[in-house]
């Protein structure tokens, strides 16, 4: 696998006389390579170039074929290695060079993944583009944490919210507080104080259960639970870092009963001990 930073090729533009290639916007899911769809794996295996984000886990990156050129264009808070406009230009340039391009994104490309922006740019440039849906973090990470997004008699719906904003989150906080939905905040760890204060100010009960799911669906996954009133303290005490989801709602109280990932790990360890005995 030939790996380099994506901005090394941003200057490549214009057609080279070859037949125009194709771009596939592929959702890589929340981290576990076993959660890749068959279609996503096919796109990875057949790609000439894989353009991937920060949230594509190292376990999934290990699946990249040696024949593919891997270009990293990830973003972190306060450190955008490549501007979105430059990523759009890069995808267009790679396609016009005749490449089969797998644009690989953590989770699902159309849920806080800016996939639609990239698709609009590609279509405007006349580049064929497909979308391969992926398991979004809210569904994958909460399932691995034993937290159902909905549960009869507890939560009749769920709402996904992005916590990614430079200053304040311009949201309809009264509606969020009164929805009686499970709330899932993506990229919200640094906004924990604001999330707590706004929800409490709009009438949400201070003892509402909350969970922080860090590095979900990866071997390092960690789940921290508590109450809404203590959300910032939980982040600080447990040193929770991104990528992490914040889950707010009564369904979090079911996590202990529905927890299953650690039980599977324990069974695997027991089997390994038996085999080595």
List, by residue number, the catalytic residues.
Answer: 53, 75
Extract the tokens encoding 263: 């039980």
The span from the CA of 10 to the CA of 48, in Å, is 16
Question: Alpha-carbon distance 206 to 203, whole Å?
Answer: 9
In this structure, the strands spanning 129-132 and 22-27 are parallel
Q: How many C-beta atoms surround the C-beta of residue 155 within 10 A?
A: 20
Closest CA relative to residue 126, chosen from 46, 16, 22, 9: 22
Structure tokens at 41: 């794996």
User: Minimal CA–CA distance to 247: which of 146, 99, 168?
Assistant: 146
Spatial separation of the C-alpha atoms in residues 115 and 179, rounded to whole Å = 28
């Amino acid at each position: 696998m030939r790996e380099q930073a994506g901005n090394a090729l941003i200057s490549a533009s214009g057609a080279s006389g070859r037949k125009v290639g194709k771009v596939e916007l592929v959702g890589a899911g929340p981290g576990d390579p076993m959660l890749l769809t068959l279609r996503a794996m096919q796109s990875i295996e057949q790609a000439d170039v894989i353009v991937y984000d920060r949230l594509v886990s190292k376990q999934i990156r290990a699946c990249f074929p040696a024949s593919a050129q891997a270009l990293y264009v990830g973003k972190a808070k306060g450190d955008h290695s490549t501007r979105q406009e430059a990523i759009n230009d890069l995808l267009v340039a790679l396609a016009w060079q005749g490449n089969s391009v797998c644009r690989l994104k953590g989770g699902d490309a159309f849920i806080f993944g800016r996939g639609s922006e990239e698709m609009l740019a590609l279509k405007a440039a006349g580049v064929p583009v497909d979308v391969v849906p992926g398991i979004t973090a809210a569904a994958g990470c909460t399932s691995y944490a034993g937290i159902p997004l909905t549960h009869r008699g507890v939560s009749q719906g769920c709402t996904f919210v992005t916590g990614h904003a430079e200053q304040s989150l311009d949201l309809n906080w009264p509606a969020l507080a009164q929805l009686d939905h499970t709330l899932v905040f993506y990229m919200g760890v640094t906004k924990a104080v604001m999330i707590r204060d706004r929800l409490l100010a709009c009438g949400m009960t201070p003892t509402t259960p909350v969970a922080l799911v860090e590095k979900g669906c990866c071997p390092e996954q960690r789940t921290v639970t508590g109450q809404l009133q203590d959300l910032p303290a939980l982040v600080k005490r447990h040193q929770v870092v991104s990528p992490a989801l914040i889950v707010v709602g009564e369904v979090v109280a079911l996590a202990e009963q529905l927890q299953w990932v650690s039980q599977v790990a324990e069974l695997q360890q027991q089997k390994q001990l038996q085999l080595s005995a």
